[in-house]
């Protein structure tokens, strides 16, 4: 068994889509990023990479590489899920927290889990919690969103 943790945050900007966990969330602002800004996918990706001992998302998908500009973070996540499989590991559990004052995310959790499953993670192995920061810090002021994730990997077939 191996465990990894991941974290990501992005600031809001008008004129961007809000994508979290691969699901488009209706909101007047989105997250600024080189890819699609999906902080939840980025945190999960980093958690898997941490469990594998393979660095972080920036090592694999650098933000100065035009190849990844506007890329779907679910596609990036799938690449790393496949990397785990090629190294003989499978995901046994993902637990996540998305921290945002607005929009309310609880109604979108199932859609996020369904979208994340397209990266090869069964919905039964994903837990997503939506939290506020009670008005404190950048998320509390509504300036952006943060996400944390923990990944547990096991040897495939065991």
Domain of 17, CATH number, reads 3.30.1330.50
**Residues 30-87 pLDDT 10s:** 998 877 889 999 999 999 999 999 999 999 988 888 777 778 899 999 999 999 999 9
* C-beta separation of 136 from 79 below 8 A: no
For the chain, what is the domain count? 1
Domain span holding position 19: 2-155
Bridge pairing between strands 29-31 and 144-155: unpaired
């Amino acid at each position: 068994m191996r465990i990894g943790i991941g974290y990501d945050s992005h600031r809001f900007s008008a004129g961007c889509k809000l994508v979290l966990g691969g699901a488009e969330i209706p909101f007047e602002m989105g997250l600024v990023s080189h890819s699609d800004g999906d902080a939840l996918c980025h945190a999960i990706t980093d958690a898997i990479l941490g469990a594998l001992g393979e660095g972080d998302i920036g090592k694999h998908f650098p933000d100065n590489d035009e190849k990844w500009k506007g890329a779907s973070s679910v596609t990036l996540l799938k690449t790393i899920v496949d990397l785990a499989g090629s190294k003989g590991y499978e995901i046994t559990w993902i637990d996540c927290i998305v921290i945002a004052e607005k929009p309310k995310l609880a109604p979108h959790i199932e859609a996020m889990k369904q979208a994340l499953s397209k990266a090869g993670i069964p919905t039964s192995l994903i837990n997503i919690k939506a939290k506020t920061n009670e008005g404190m810090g950048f998320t509390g002021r509504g300036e952006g969103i943060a996400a944390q994730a923990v990944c547990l990997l096991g040897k495939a077939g065991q």
